[in-house]
Amino acid sequence: MSKVVDAWVKVQDMPVGFHGEAGRSVDFKTGDWRSSKPVLDREKCIYCGFCYIYCPDGVYEDMGPKEKYYKADLDYCKGCGVCANECPKKCIAMTLEEV
**Which of residues 22, 62, 83, 98 is near ligand SF4 by CB under 6 A?**
83
- Told to check if 29 binds ligand SF4 by CB under 6 A, we report no
- Told to check if 5 binds ligand SF4 by CB under 6 A, we report no
Q: Which residues contact 11 (CB under 8 A, 6 or more apart)?
A: none
**Which of residues 14, 18, 47, 93 is near ligand SF4 by CB under 6 A?**
47
Q: Which residues contact 5 (CB under 8 A, 6 or more apart)?
A: 14, 15, 18, 20
Residue 21 to residue 62: CA distance in whole angstroms = 27
Residue 36 to residue 79: CA distance in whole angstroms = 5
- Of 5 and 80, which CB lies nearer to ligand SF4 in the complex structure? 80
Residues near ligand SF4 (CB under 6 A): 38, 40, 45-51, 55, 57, 59, 70, 72, 77-83, 87, 89, 91-92
